């Protein structure tokens, strides 16, 4: 092992990747954005963003593109007025596209489908807006939405936007405690929910959690006025006549006429809670004009959206991806999309591929965690379906390991489709770093460079830009339209969390620190290496967990891997890996652990060779699919496993602990 000293706040650059995929010629020729956009945006950033804002309908144009006089509090399109719901719905109908399908809704029960045109969506949103107003919701009041992935969830969001009532969507998998604390934090007046939704083949209740959350919120001192309930599954619900209102009573009887009011560009659109490493969840505030501009522009540019595309983003609307890339971006662009209620493997493992085949999906956007689970199952399942309609694939949420990228492109995309690895965050509101599919070649594992209009860098502890070939901290060096405006009710926390690491100096303004580590490869392309909290310091080198995980996933027997740096009294921190094998690899064979340790050594070098590798059936993940390395670290360091409340499936940790106990000798 190397004995070199720590390398001054940068991350070691370990993996090398030589595979390249050129943009398809046809796509490149007709691409929405071409090379010149980078230069145009850089030469006059504000003019570029003003041009992007023009794709929306404004009731009143702005006087000033950006007000950055009081950083880090930005105002975009100052003085402009618009209605987000009008932009997502009415204007398409007015332009004669009312018959275009907005949603091919696919419920989890097979055959439970429903197409909704833009004209129908306009009626539904108008009715819901009238119903919310009748329930006492006024402009500025907050509305919580706790729903399955059904059209009414989108309708509720747009109805809130239509009347200027900021929504906060809470993922339907969250507990009543999580819901209660969010209701209290944003003082939600109304909750929109459903009796339940379909997941993994059965009806899964939602309303009981809302009932509990309303009581808990009251204990915290906040009273919810009304609960609006969609009947989805028909399961029994406890009913409180003073509080509960059926959607089919309140909404379906309401008028389909509703005149949208124009709001200030900076009017709050929604609050999305995201958990930090410490403390209570942060309510990320997004406002109207800049956010909608950023979501619509990126959806059009990064997916190279064309009028006939059929788009499908598999995220849940309880996450920011669902907000920006199911609701606001795609609908502002008038797209036809698939909305799917359930899980990828219900009733059987090929469900997603069936949906793609049936609806002729052309643009598909999902997360690396899903891709790796399909890799584990093997290619026979997608191979049985006709996926030839696909022309572009997207990835979001985590670093995509090069091997998963290549599998995605090859098996799902038939080697025709570019893969866009899109880096962004709840806080950024929109895609920030990504290839442009008609311009940038694909490089497996790299999100490449900031899209036109965005400025980012990788810097060391002192804020010095690192040279190509080195790693450091990812920062955003210029404000952008969809940026968060603050943390709901806590401006100080907003400043501290995002802007205190690299404050303004004499030479430059303040930088936004994203919390991620990244490297620039020798071409200057960016590789996001995950949260800096996950970085390990091994023998004086800062190693990113992502690179070692990618090396493991490049072994043909491995589907998924998680790496942590565990303290070791004898040697200092050591690399520990948890590995899921592909189904076809069986138990991997007697020498699997040694084989994998040597594979990492060969791929990266001796420094990264794991001290210990544990073969496990599952990995602990948050409900949005991110690996919780903190818990694995507890296991690796033989501690009692910490707080598991945000795990999607808390039994996973028992499985891992058992596996670790029984496999002690192996490691
Ligand atoms: O660490 C990065 C990772 O996900 C974080 C943001 O998570 P969240 O706010 O939940 O938003 C998820 C949807 C945008 C980032 O700080 N991340 C997201 N996309 C990528 C990624 N890491 C690497 N590559 C990506 N494409």
- The stretch 213-220 carries a mean pLDDT of 97
User: Which ligand 1 atom is the nearest neighbour of the CA of 424?
Assistant: 14
Write the residue with the smallest CA distance to atom 21 of ligand 1: 398
SS3 122: helix
pLDDT, residue 8, reads 44
Q: Cα–Cα distance between 459 and 489 in angstroms, integer?
A: 31
Asked, as a colleague might, if the bond just before 414 is cis with ω within 30 of 0, I would say: no
3-state SS class at 51: helix
CA 422 / ligand 1 centre spacing (Å): 8
> Quick one: which atom of ligand 1 is closest to the CA of 529?
23
Sign of the Cα torsion 457, 459, 463, 466 reads negative
Out of 397-406, 459-468, 514-523, 632-641, pick the least confident.
Answer: 632-641
pLDDT of 277 strictly over 80? no
Please report how the helices 592-603 and 545-553 are oriented relative to each other, as an axis angle in degrees rounded to 10: 120
Place of tokens 């002690």: 664
Look at residue 280 and tell me whether its pLDDT is greater than 90: no
Domain ranges of the chain: 539-662
- Is the CB of residue 27 less than 8 Å from the CB of residue 271? no
Instruction: Give the separation between CA 613 and CA 578, rounded to whole angstroms.
Output: 6
Please tell me whether the peptide bond between 146 and the residue prior to it is cis, using omega within 30 degrees of 0. no
Residue 379 or 665, more confident: 379
Q: How confident is the model at residue 15 (pLDDT cuts 50, 70, 90)?
A: confident
pLDDT at position 625 is 85
CB-based contact 517:311 (threshold 8 Å): no
Q: Is the dihedral of CA 265, 267, 269, 274 positive or negative?
A: positive
Ligand 1 pocket test, candidate residues 420, 514, 528, most atoms within 8 A of CB: 528
> Could you give phi then psi for residue 396, rounded to 5 degrees?
-155, 150
Mean pLDDT, residues 399-427: 97
pLDDT in tens, 111-130: 999 999 999 999 999 999 99
401 near 550, Cβ under 8 Å? yes
pLDDT of residue 654: 84
Residue-wise over 451-478: b if at least 16 C-beta within 10 A, else e?
Answer: bbbbbbbbbbeebeebeeebbbbbbbbb
Q: What separation in Å is there between the alpha carbon of 396 and the centre of ligand 1?
A: 7
CA 422 to ligand 1: nearest atom: 26
Looking at the CA of residue 531, tell me the nearest atom of ligand 1: 1
Atom 15 of ligand 1, nearest CA residue: 425
Residue 571 CB burial class (10 angstroms; 0-12, 13-18, ≥19):
exposed
Q: Is pLDDT above 80 for 5?
A: no
Q: Rounded distance, CA 579 to CA 551, Å? A: 12
Beta carbons within 10 angstroms of residue 666's beta carbon: 15
Q: Which atom of ligand 1 is nearest to the CA of 421?
A: 26
Residues with CB under 6 A from ligand 1: 274, 320-321, 396-399, 421-426, 447, 514-516, 528, 530-531, 624
d(CA 165, CA 155): 13
User: Under a CB-based contact definition with an 8 Å cutoff, are residues 662 and 616 in contact?
Assistant: no
- pLDDT (mean) for 598-607: 88
Q: What pLDDT shows up at residue 606? A: 84
> Nearest-CA neighbor of 159 among 251, 92, 57?
251
Closest residue to atom 5 of ligand 1, CA basis? 425
623 C-alpha to ligand 1 centroid (Å): 14
Q: Whose CA is nearest to atom 26 of ligand 1?
A: 423
Mutate to test the pocket of ligand 1, among 424, 429, 456 (most ligand atoms within 8 A of CB): 424
| CA–CA gap between residue 652 and residue 667 (Å, rounded) | 20
Other Cβ atoms within 10 Å of 397 Cβ, number: 19
Mean pLDDT of 197-210: 96
Helices (H) and strands (E) in the chain, counts: 22, 30
Question: Which of 11, 276, 284, 423 gets mutated to test ligand 1 (max ligand atoms within 8 A of its CB)?
Answer: 423
- Give the tokens for residue 162: 């239509």
Q: Which atom of ligand 1 is nearest to the CA of 423?
A: 26
pLDDT for position 120: 98
Taking the mean position of all CA atoms in its chain, how far away is CA 642? 25
Three-class SS of residue 485? coil
Q: Which two tokens stand for residue 237?
A: 């619900």
**Which atom of ligand 1 lies nearest, measured to the CA of 515?**
16
User: Structure tokens of 106?
Assistant: 């696919």
The 3-state DSSP class for residue 325 equals: helix
What is residue 254's predicted lDDT score, i.e. its pLDDT?
98
Pocket test for ligand 1, best of 371, 372, 398, 401 (most atoms within 8 A of CB): 398
- Percent of the chain with pLDDT strictly greater than 70: 96
pTM of the model as a whole:
0.92
Gap from CA of 514 to ligand 1 centroid (Å) = 10
Ligand 1 centre distance from Cα of residue 375 (Å):
21
Is the dihedral angle over the CA atoms 295, 296, 302, 303 positive or is it negative? positive
Q: In 3D, which of 151, 87, 150, 142 has the Cα closest to residue 117?
A: 151
Q: Whose CA is nearest to atom 25 of ligand 1?
A: 423
Q: Which of 191, 197, 89 lies closest to 150, judged by CA?
A: 197
Over the stretch 289-333, which tens digit does the pLDDT of each residue have? 999 999 999 999 999 999 999 999 999 999 999 999 999 999 999
pLDDT for res 142: 98
Q: Does the pLDDT value for residue 663 go beyond 50?
A: no
Contact 468, 334 (CB under 8 A): no
82 alpha carbon to ligand 1 midpoint, in Å?
A: 29
Residue 330 CB neighbours (<10 A): 28
From the CA of 366, how far away is ligand 1's center (Å)? 12
Q: How confident is the model at residue 659 (pLDDT cuts 50, 70, 90)?
A: low
Whether 197 contacts 232, CB under 8 Å? yes
Question: Is 373 in contact with 182 (CB distance < 8 Å)?
Answer: no
Residue whose CA is closest, atom 23 of ligand 1? 399
Q: What is the whole-number distance in angstroms between the Cα of residue 94 and the centre of ligand 1? A: 36
Residue with the smallest CA separation from ligand 1 atom 11 is: 425
What is the atom index within ligand 1 of the atom nearest the CA of 434?
26
What's the gap in Å between 185 CA and the centre of ligand 1? 24
Q: How far is the CA of 100 from the centre of ligand 1 (A)?
A: 32
Q: DSSP for 596-623?
A: HHHHHHHHT-GGG--SEEEE-S---BBT
Instruction: Using the mean position of ligand 1's atoms as its centre, give its distance from the Cα of residue 546 in Å.
Output: 13
- Tell the residue number behind the tokens 């009312």, with chain if given: 98
The length of the chain, given as a count of residues: 667
Distance 243 CA to ligand 1 centre (A): 38
Give the number of the atom of ligand 1 that is nearest the alpha carbon of residue 546.
Answer: 23
Ligand 1 centroid, distance to 10 Cα (angstroms)? 20
Q: What is the pLDDT of residues 252-275, one digit of tens each?
A: 999 999 999 999 999 999 999 987
Helix (H) or strand (E) holding 546: helix 545-553
The residue whose CB lies within 8 Å of the most ligand 1 atoms, and thus the one to mutate among 397, 525, 527, 544, is 397
What CATH fold (topology level) applies to the domain 539-662?
GMP Synthetase; Chain A, domain 3 (3.30.300)
Structural contact between residues 318 and 170, judged by C-beta atoms closer than 8 angstroms: yes
Please compute the mean of the pLDDT values over residues 508-530 and round it to a whole number.
95
- The pLDDT mean for the chain works out to 93
Q: Which residues contact 202 (CB under 8 A, 6 or more apart)?
A: none
Tokens of 183: 């209701």
Residue 421 alpha carbon to ligand 1 centre in Å: 10
Euclidean distance between CA atoms 438 and 306, whole angstroms: 13
Per-residue pLDDT at 569: 72
Q: What span, in angstroms and rounded, lies between the C-alpha atoms of 412 and 32?
A: 24
Spatial distance between the Cα atoms of 11 and 80, rounded to a whole number of angstroms = 43
> Separation of 525 CA from ligand 1 center, angstroms?
17
| Residue 508 Cα to ligand 1 middle (Å) | 26
Distance set, CA 297 to CA 92, 456, 615 (Å): 17, 18, 43
């Amino acid at each position: 092992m190397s004995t070199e000293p720590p390398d001054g706040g940068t991350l070691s650059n370990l993996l090398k990747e030589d595979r390249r995929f050129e943009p398809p010629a046809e796509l490149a020729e007709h691409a929405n954005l071409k090379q010149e956009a980078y230069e145009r945006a850089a030469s006059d950033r504000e003019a570029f963003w003003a041009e992007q804002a023009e794709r929306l309908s404004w009731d009143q144009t702005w006087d000033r593109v950006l007000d950055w006089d009081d950083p880090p509090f930005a105002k975009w399109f100052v003085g402009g007025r618009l209605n987000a719901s009008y932009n997502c719905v009415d204007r398409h109908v007015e332009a004669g596209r009312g018959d275009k399908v907005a949603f091919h809704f696919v419920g989890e029960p097979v055959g439970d489908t429903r197409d909704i045109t833009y004209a129908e969506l306009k009626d539904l949103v108008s009715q819901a807006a009238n119903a919310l107003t009748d329930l006492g919701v006024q402009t500025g009041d907050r509305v919580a939405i706790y729903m399955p992935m059904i059209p009414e969830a989108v309708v509720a969001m747009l109805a809130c936007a239509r009347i200027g009532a900021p929504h906060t969507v809470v993922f339907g998998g969250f507990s009543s405690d999580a819901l209660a604390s969010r209701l209290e934090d944003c003082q939600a007046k109304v909750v929109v929910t459903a009796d339940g939704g379909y997941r993994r083949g059965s009806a899964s209740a939602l309303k009981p959690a809302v009932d509990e959350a309303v009581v808990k919120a009251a204990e915290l001192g906040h009273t919810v006025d009304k609960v609006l309930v969609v009947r989805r599954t028909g399961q029994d619900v406890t009913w409180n006549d003073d509080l509960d209102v059926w959607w089919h009573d309140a909404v379906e009887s309401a008028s389909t006429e509703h005149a949208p009011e124009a709001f200030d560009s900076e009017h709050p659109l929604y609050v999305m809670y995201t958990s930090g490493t410490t403390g209570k969840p942060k309510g990320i505030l997004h406002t109207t004009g800049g956010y909608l501009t950023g979501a619509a522009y990126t959806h059009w540019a990064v997916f190279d959206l064309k009028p006939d595309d059929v788009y499908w983003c598999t995220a849940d609307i309880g996450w920011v991806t669902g907000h920006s890339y199911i609701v606001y971006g795609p609908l502002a662009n008038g797209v036809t999309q698939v909305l799917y209620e359930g899980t990828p493997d219900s009733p059987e493992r090929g469900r997603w591929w069936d949906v793609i085949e049936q609806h002729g999906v052309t643009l598909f956007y999902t997360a690396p965690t899903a891709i790796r689970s399909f890799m584990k199952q093997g290619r026979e399942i997608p191979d049985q379906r006709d996926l030839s309609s696909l022309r572009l694939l997207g990835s979001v949420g985590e670093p995509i390991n090069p091997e998963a990228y290549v599998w995605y492109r090859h098996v799902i995309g038939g080697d025709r489709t570019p893969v866009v690895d899109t880096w962004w965050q709840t806080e950024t509101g929109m895609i920030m770093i990504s290839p442009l599919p008609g311009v940038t070649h694909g490089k497996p594992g790299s999100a490449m460079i900031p899209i036109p209009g965005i400025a980012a860098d990788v810097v060391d502890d002192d804020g010095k830009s690192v040279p190509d070939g080195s790693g450091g901290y990812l920062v955003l060096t210029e404000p952008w339209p969809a940026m968060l405006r603050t943390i709901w009710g806590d401006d100080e926390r907003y400043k501290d969390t995002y802007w205190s690491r690299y404050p303004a100096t004499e030479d430059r303004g303040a930088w936004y620190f994203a919390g991620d580590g990244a490297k620039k490869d020798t071409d200057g392309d960016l590789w996001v290496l995950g949260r800096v909290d996950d970085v390990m310091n091994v023998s004086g080198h800062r190693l990113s967990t992502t690179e070692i995980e990618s090396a493991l996933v490049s072994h043909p027997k491995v589907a998924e891997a998680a790496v942590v740096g565990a303290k070791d009294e004898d040697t200092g921190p050591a690399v520990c890996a948890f590995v899921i094998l592909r189904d076809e690899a069986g138990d991997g064979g007697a020498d699997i652990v040694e084989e994998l340790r040597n594979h990492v050594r060969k791929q990266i070098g001796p420094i990264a060779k794991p001290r210990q590798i544990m073969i496990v059936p599952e990995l602990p993940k948050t409900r949005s699919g991110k690996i919780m390395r903190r818990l694995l670290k507890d296991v690796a360091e033989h501690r009692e496993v910490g707080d598991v409340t945000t795990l999607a499936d808390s039994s996973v940790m028992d499985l891992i602990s058992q596996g670790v106990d029984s496999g002690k000798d192996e490691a």
